[in-house]
Structure formats: C-alpha cells, structure tokens
C-alpha cells in the first residue's frame, strides 16, 4: 500500500512484547469504567489511545501505571505480572499523568533527584541521569527554580523529565501536549517520536492529528471498550469495502450525464452521490483497486465541459475513522 | 537506602520549605521554656516555704518529680495541640494537589508511602524535642541532684505519646483534602481520648477501668512520674500500629473510588 508518510517507521517483526493487557475490566461501584480490554505492544512501538472524553482512557493509563489494579483481568509488563509485585515492576514504567501536578515547594533539581532515588537509580548514575534529562527536556536553566514558580509549559517538561528518569522501557503519556503553546507542542511531539524509537510508548490523547503524526498503531476506546485497533491505514481499510475517489462538481443538473460518464471508465465499480448542496454535487466513486483514475476522470469531464471543483483520493482521515467508529458505536447501542 | 527513608527525608525537608515548621518549632520551644521556668520558680518558692516553716515531712519531695514530672505532663498537653498542626498537611495536601497520584505510580508500596510520611513527621518531632534537653542541662548546671531514671522514663513516655498522636493525625489527614478539617478531626479525637481519663475518675467499677485503659493520659502519667511499665509501652505501640494500619487502608480507597 502506498504510504505518503515521510518516514515510515519499520518495526522488527520479532520485537518482544512489552505490555500486554488481558481482558482487563475496572469497576467503580456499579460504574463500569473499562471492560474486556485486551491488547499488546511490542518494543519500539508507539500506541495511540484514542477515545472521547470519559471513554476510560485515563482509567486504562492508571491501571498500566500501577496506580490501581484492575477489577478483572491481568496486565503483563515483559514477562512479569504488574500487580503481583508492583513495587518492582513499576520501575520499568515512566508515567506522565494528565495535567500533572508536582511538588510546588521543591526545586526542579531537588524534585528530580527525589524521583531518581525513589526509582532506585544507582548513586553513581544519578547525577548523569539527572543532567541528561534536564538537557533533553530543556530544563537546564530552571533547575534551581521552585516548581511552583514555573510556567505551565515548563511544569509539563518537568513532568516529562520525571517520567524519563531511570530510563524506563515503557512510557505512558496521558495528554502530554495539553495546555502547551504550538511551539512547545511541536517540540514535545518530536521528543516523543525520538523516545519511541527504543522504547515502548503509549500515548493517550484526544488530539487526532497528534496520533496520526506520532503513533504506529491506534486503539480506539469508547465507553470502556476497545472498538477498533490497528494502524491508521488498517482502520481506514476496514471501514471501506474498496477504495474510493471523491469528486465534487458544479452544475448539479448534469448529474445523470456525469454518472453515465463515470461508469464508462474501466475500473469503476460503483458511483453514488454523497452530498448535494446548492449547485454542487459530490460523488464517491468506488474503484476495484487503488487505481489512479483521477487523470482519466478529469480528462473526460473536461471533454464534456462539466466543471470539476475537486478530485481527491478517498483515504479516510483519522478524524473520519474515529468519528465513524465512535458515532456508529453510539447509534447502534442506542437503537439495538 | 530504603524507599520509605527517601519519602521520609523529602517530607521532613518540606516542613522547612514553608514557614510552618519553623513556626511550630519556635512556638513549642517558647511554651516549653515558659512551663519550665514557672516550674523551677514555683519549686524554689515551695522549698523556701518548707525551710521557713521547718516542715520536715515534705523534705522527701524530689526535685525531679516535681519539676520534670510536671514538665512532661505539660508537654503532653502541648503535643495535643501541636500534633494536629504537624500532621494536618502530610497526606491531605498531597491529595489536594494530586501529587499523591504521582507517588502511587513510582516503585513504592502503600506501606512505603505511609511509613515514609510517618517517619518524616517523627524526624520533625525529634527536632522539636531535642532542645528541651537544654532545660535539663540547665538544671544540672544549677547543681540539682537529678534522678536520671525518671528523666529517661519521661522522655520515653513523651516519645511514645508523640508517636501515637502523630499516627492518629496521619490517619485523619488521609481522610480529607482539607488541612483544616484534618486538624480539627485530630484535635477533637485527641481531646475526647484525653477526657476519658476524667470520665474514668467519675465512673465506677469496670467502666472506670475501661476508660482509664483507653485514655493515653493515664498511661503517660506513669511515665512522667518515672514509672516504667511494659503494659504502657504496649498500649502506645498498639495505638501507633492501629492508626498506621488504618492509614494504609485509607489510601487504598483509590482502588474503588476512581
């Protein structure tokens, strides 16, 4: 399949499985926050956890971080079961909670050194580790400032630094870019991509472009259940029976003529109208394979003097996929 | 270094990041000094009267009992006020600021967290107590003949009392996000426990015995008077472990309350 991403990340097919959730469910009293969630992530993979607000993303992240155990099911990190010996296993995890709150009365350096001690970073490594994290998170110049006096962006970086201390193999970032300015967002995304090369990273977010930019694979959660998972392409492919080209033309009254014209093109399977507004008309043209029929279509339409406004390939964007999956899910649930 | 020691160190330092720690320290040192001076002056007055009236039968009244015994009893009352202030922010502030969430995700067990927080308070309590040795040294310098056994018993009792009050305060601070609510709860319960000793004085038979056993005051008084008894030590140890256990259970609440 053609991939227009600039640098497709190649995963080793035999990379070890780092995180595995098995039929995980979490109940708070009678409220079911998560139910029957299963997935696994290999080393070097970046998984995007998507879902509308209140879908159970943060609950899933909290279970993975060892904050609380699930009511049902098991979580494995490497070959260790997380909640069998959480005190030891949590050492492999770096967690950046959503809208992180820090000890405001500590200095940046003091706090990170506390984290390094808690995470049992060897005394000889501690200073080096600290310097390294201060540097990659761009905190060197504020290391002696009180955390309470830092800006939101800097606090978020301190949060990132505390997650990275101790070189954990598994990173969990819950909404890492919320509340940052566009420049900081770009920097953090670059950093995430960089970090994801050697580690396993789970990114929970509701910002869809972030997922398509950063993640290898997407897991969509709605109402505590996994409703879809796979790469963006796989998700899109699963939703479309075949590939489609979208065509928007003016002069709506020539609809039948246009349909006839389109059907003469070899490779076109089906044509149907998806939108009619004012003088405009949008067709979705289903093509048997991912054929490049756009030049042919344009040529024919120009020949017959039908004005074309737009011709584009029908690969669904992640927004469309997300909306389709979540909206479909909600409507089928409401009208069984 | 054990994990709980790291938490204890951080918590101990945080007393001095705000002025609260310094303030508590100063107030305690001053109050203890005032009590001590008053006791020394009144002892001087009484002994002078005794000498004047040539009352032979009071000669046996020992300086250690009079000054140190009362001094420790007074310190106990002061702790009843200070323990809620020392413990009120320990867990409630972390809950309010949501920094507790962070601690739960570090490689720490709940026991590490509770024990570390508790120990951090005990460090501070030790810092509060140490300067009172100055007063004892002052007595020595004045040439008093001290009964060291009583003084050691008094300090052990005072230490146990402080540990118990702080464990109760820690538990109360785990219940709420508000420091004020935490302090009021601790103080209320401490006063009720203290008052049980009075109830024991009014009540009769089995009830009197029950209330006397429950109240920390009765157990503490014996220490202050220089009596060293294992049953009192057991009482305070049970008191501490009970509230530490409750605190651990209390922070496990996150498992079912989102």
ipTM of the complex: 0.83
A58-82 pLDDT tens trace: 889 989 988 888 998 989 888 788 8
Interval A8-13 mean pLDDT = 56
Residue B59: the pLDDT is: 46
Residues A290 and A243: beta-carbon distance below 8 Å: yes
Q: How confident is the model at residue A243 (pLDDT cuts 50, 70, 90)?
A: low
Residue A111: the pLDDT is: 92
User: Alpha-carbon distance B205 to B156, whole Å?
Assistant: 30
A83-102 pLDDT tens trace: 888 888 888 899 998 878 88
Nearest to B116 by CA among A117, A324, A267, A332: A117
Does the beta-carbon distance from A114 to B18 stay under 8 Å? no
The distance of B86 to chain A (nearest Cα, Å) reads 17
Strands in A123-254 per DSSP E: 170-174, 200-205, 217-222, 225-230, 243-249
Q: Return per-residue pLDDT of chain B as tens, 258 residues.
A: 688 999 999 999 888 887 888 999 999 999 999 998 998 888 888 877 777 776 554 444 577 778 888 889 999 999 999 999 999 999 999 888 888 888 988 999 999 999 999 999 999 999 999 989 988 888 888 877 778 888 899 999 999 999 999 999 999 999 999 999 999 999 999 999 999 988 888 888 888 888 888 899 989 998 888 888 899 999 999 999 999 999 999 998 877 765
Chain A residue with Cα closest to B111: A87
Residue A8: the pLDDT is: 47
Residue B114: the pLDDT is: 95
Q: Which residues of B touch A95 (CB under 8 A)?
A: 105
User: Alpha-carbon distance A269 to A287, whole Å?
Assistant: 6
Average pLDDT, rounded, for chain A: 82
Taking CA atoms, A49 is separated from A13, A206, A213, in Å, by: 22, 8, 13
Q: Out of B97, B109, B112, whose CB is closest to A101?
A: B97
**For residues B168-200, b (16+ Cβ closer than 10 Å) or e, as one string?**
bbbbbbbbbebbeebbebbbebbeebbebbebb
Q: Out of B102, B108, B257, whose CB is closest to A87?
A: B108
Instruction: Name the DSSP letter for residue A143.
Output: T
Instruction: Name the DSSP letter for residue A59.
Output: H
Residue B155: the pLDDT is: 93
Does the beta-carbon distance from B14 to A103 stay under 8 Å? yes
Chain A residue with Cα closest to B16: A105
Q: Which residues of A touch B256 (CB under 8 A)?
A: 28-29
Does the beta-carbon distance from A90 to B107 stay under 8 Å? yes
Does the beta-carbon distance from B101 to A102 stay under 8 Å? no
Residue A193: the pLDDT is: 83
**Structure token digits, residue A232:** 């963006």
Please report where in the chains the tokens 């609950």 appear, as a residue: A59
Chain B residue with Cα closest to A112: B10
In order, the DSSP letters of A168-195 are -SEEEEESTTTT--HHHHHHHHHHHHHH
A142-146, A181-185, B101-105, B245-249: lowest mean pLDDT where? A181-185
Q: SS3 for A114?
A: helix
Please report where in the chains the tokens 């709506």 appear, as a residue: A252
Q: Which residues are CB-contacts of B122 (< 8 A; sequence separation ≥ 6)?
A: B162, B163, B166
Nearest to A112 by CA among B10, B108, B3, B15: B10
At residue A239, does pLDDT exceed 70? no
**For residues A200-211, b (16+ Cβ closer than 10 Å) or e, as one string?**
bbbbbbbbbebb
Q: Which residue has the higher pLDDT, A329 or A20?
A: A20
A238-247, A310-319, B228-237: lowest mean pLDDT where? A238-247
Q: In what order do the strands lie in the sheet with A308-313?
A: A268-277, A280-287, A243-249, A308-313
Flag whether the pTM goes above 0.90: no
Highest mean pLDDT among A252-261, A278-287, A307-316: A252-261
The distance of A111 to chain B (nearest Cα, Å) reads 9
At residue A6, does pLDDT exceed 50? no
Which residues does A contribute to its contact with B (CB < 8 Å)? 28-29, 31, 33, 59, 65-69, 86-91, 93, 95, 97, 100-106, 114-115, 117-120, 162
Q: Out of B97, B107, B112, whose CB is closest to A91?
A: B107
Does the beta-carbon distance from B99 to A101 stay under 8 Å? yes
**Structure token digits, residue A332:** 């089928």
Q: Which residues of A touch B99 (CB under 8 A)?
A: 101-103
At residue A285, does pLDDT exceed 70? yes
Does the beta-carbon distance from B108 to A65 stay under 8 Å? no
Residue A336: the pLDDT is: 42
At residue A277, does pLDDT exceed 60? yes
Q: Mutation target for B interface from A58, A59, A82, A101: give the one with most B CBs within 10 A.
A: A101
Q: SS3 for A300?
A: helix
Does the beta-carbon distance from A67 to B104 stay under 8 Å? yes
Residue A7, classified by CB atoms within 10 Å of its CB into exposed (0-12), middle (13-18) or buried (19+), is exposed
A11-52 pLDDT tens trace: 556 778 888 888 889 988 888 888 888 888 888 888 998 888
Q: Which residues of A touch B109 (CB under 8 A)?
A: 86-87
Q: SS3 for A23?
A: strand
Q: Out of B1, B18, B257, whose CB is closest to A28?
A: B257
Residue A328: the pLDDT is: 67
Does the beta-carbon distance from B109 to A86 stay under 8 Å? yes
Q: How confident is the model at residue A278 (pLDDT cuts 50, 70, 90)?
A: confident
Q: Mutation target for A interface from B107, B110, B248: give the one with most A CBs within 10 A.
A: B107
């Amino acid at each position: 399949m053609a991939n227009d991403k600039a640098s497709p990340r190649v995963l080793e097919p035999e990379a070890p499985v780092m995180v595995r959730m098995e039929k995980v469910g979490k109940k708070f009293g009678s409220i079911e926050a998560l139910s029957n969630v299963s997935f696994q992530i290999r080393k070097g993979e970046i998984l995007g956890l998507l879902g509308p607000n209140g879908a159970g993303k943060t609950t899933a992240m909290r279970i993975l971080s060892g904050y609380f155990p699930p009511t049902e099911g098991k979580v494995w990190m490497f070959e260790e079961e997380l909640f069998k010996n959480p005190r030891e296993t949590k050492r492999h995890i770096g967690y950046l909670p959503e809208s992180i709150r820090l000890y405001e009365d500590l200095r940046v350096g003091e706090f990170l050194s506390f984290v390094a001690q808690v995470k049992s970073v060897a005394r000889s490594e501690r200073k080096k580790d600290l310097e390294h994290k201060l540097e990659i998170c761009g905190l060197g110049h504020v290391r002696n400032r009180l955390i309470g006096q830092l800006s939101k962006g800097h606090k978020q970086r301190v949060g990132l630094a505390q997650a990275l201390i101790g070189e954990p193999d598994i990173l969990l970032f819950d909404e890492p870019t919320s509340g940052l300015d566009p420049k900081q967002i770009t920097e953090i995304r670059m950093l995430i991509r960089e970090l994801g090369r050697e580690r396993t990273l789970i990114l929970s977010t509701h910002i869809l472009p972030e997922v398509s930019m950063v993640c290898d694979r997407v897991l969509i959660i709605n109402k505590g259940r996994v409703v879809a998972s796979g790469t963006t392409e796989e998700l899109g492919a699963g939703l479309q029976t075949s590939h489609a080209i979208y065509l928007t033309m003016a002069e709506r009254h020539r609809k039948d003529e246009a349909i006839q014209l389109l059907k003469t093109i070899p490779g076109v399977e089906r044509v149907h109208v998806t939108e009619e507004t004012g003088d405009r008309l949008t067709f979705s043209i289903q093509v048997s394979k991912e054929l490049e029929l756009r030049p042919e279509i344009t040529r024919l339409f120009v020949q017959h003097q039908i004005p074309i406004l737009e011709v584009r390939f029908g690969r669904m964007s992640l927004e469309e996929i997300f909306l389709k999956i979540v909206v479909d899910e909600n409507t089928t649930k409401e009208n069984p | 270094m054990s994990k709980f020691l790291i938490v204890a160190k951080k918590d101990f330092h945080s007393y001095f990041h705000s002025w609260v720690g310094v303030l508590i320290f100063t107030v305690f040192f001053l109050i203890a000094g005032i009590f001590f001076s008053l006791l020394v002056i009144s002892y001087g007055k009484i002994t002078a009267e005794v000498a004047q009236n040539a009352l032979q039968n009071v000669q046996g009244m020992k300086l250690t009992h009079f000054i140190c015994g009362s001094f420790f009893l007074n310190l106990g009352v002061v702790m009843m006020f200070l323990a809620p202030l020392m413990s009120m922010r320990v867990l409630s502030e972390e809950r309010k600021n949501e920094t507790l969430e962070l601690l739960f995700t570090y490689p720490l067990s709940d026991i590490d967290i509770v024990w570390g927080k508790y120990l951090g308070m005990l460090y501070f309590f030790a810092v509060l107590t140490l300067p009172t040795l100055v007063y004892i040294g002052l007595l020595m310098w004045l040439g008093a003949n001290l009964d060291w056994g009583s003084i050691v018993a008094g300090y052990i009792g005072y230490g146990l009392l402080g540990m118990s009050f702080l464990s109760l305060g820690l538990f109360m601070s785990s219940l709420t996000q508000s420091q004020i609510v935490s302090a009021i709860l601790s103080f209320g319960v401490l006063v009720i426990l203290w008052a049980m000793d009075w109830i024991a004085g009014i009540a009769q038979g089995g009830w009197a015995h029950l209330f006397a056993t429950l109240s920390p005051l009765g157990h503490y008084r014996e220490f202050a008077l220089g009596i060293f008894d294992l049953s009192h030590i057991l009482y305070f140890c049970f008191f501490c472990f009970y509230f530490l256990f409750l605190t651990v259970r209390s922070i496990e609440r996150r498992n079912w309350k989102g």
